[in-house]
């Protein structure tokens, strides 16, 4: 008995569908990995941003250090002359010390908040530059996927040095 051709067509279609995923899997996918922390830390733009922040906040830092030195001197003088001072002078010196401690605490808190805000702004700018650079390399070298986080990335997949090299040119 002959098998009608109508029954063979669906069998061939089914066979073709089953073989299709094997062809898709065998297509080469180019994947890269970037160590984002290393790029941010070692990029020349990151170093420049850090120097910019240091220059911007150095005067305030010096002012806080000066206030701390003044506080140490006031405390030292009060300890040294405690027996020689009248009660009113002693209370006045203690009040000055307490007031200066409060000023130092406030200045330090404001410094930290302002510094962190500016650091985050600079970091966001740097991250945009790094992202653009990664996209450029991905398009130039025809990557299908680039990861920033990986459990394991072999040396062939790690393109961190390429990114750093390109950032050095900018």
Averaged over successive runs of 10 residues, the pLDDT of the chain (170 residues) comes to 53 53 62 91 91 96 97 91 83 92 97 97 94 94 89 87 86
pLDDT reported for residue 48 = 92
What domains can you pick out in the chain, each with its CATH number?
29-169 (3.30.910.20)
Is the pTM here over 0.85, yes or no?
A: no
pLDDT reported for residue 86 = 85
pLDDT reported for residue 39 = 92
Phi/psi of residue 148, nearest 5 degrees:
-100, -20
pLDDT reported for residue 149 = 80
pLDDT reported for residue 25 = 47
DSSP one-letter string for 63-129:
HHHHHHHHHHHHHHHHHHHTTTS-HHHHHHHHHHHHHHHHHHHHHHHHHHHHHHHHHHHHHHHHHHH
């Amino acid at each position: 008995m002959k098998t009608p051709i109508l029954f063979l067509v669906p069998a061939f279609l089914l066979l073709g569908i089953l073989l299709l995923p094997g062809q898709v899997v065998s297509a080469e996918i180019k994947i890269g990995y970037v160590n984002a922390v290393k790029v941010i830390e070692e990029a020349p733009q990151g170093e420049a941003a850090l120097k910019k922040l240091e220059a911007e906040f150095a005067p305030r830092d010096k002012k806080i250090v000066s206030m701390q030195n003044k506080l140490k001197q006031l405390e030292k003088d009060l300890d040294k002359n405690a027996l020689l001072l009248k009660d009113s002078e002693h209370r006045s010196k203690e009040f000055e010390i307490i007031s200066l401690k409060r000023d130092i605490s406030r200045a330090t808190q404001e410094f930290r908040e302002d510094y962190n805000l500016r650091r985050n702004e600079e970091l966001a700018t740097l991250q945009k530059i790094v992202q653009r650079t990664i996209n450029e390399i991905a398009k130039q070298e025809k990557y299908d996927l680039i990861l920033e986080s990986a459990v394991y990335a072999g040396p062939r997949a790690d393109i961190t040095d390429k990114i750093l090299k390109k950032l050095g040119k900018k």
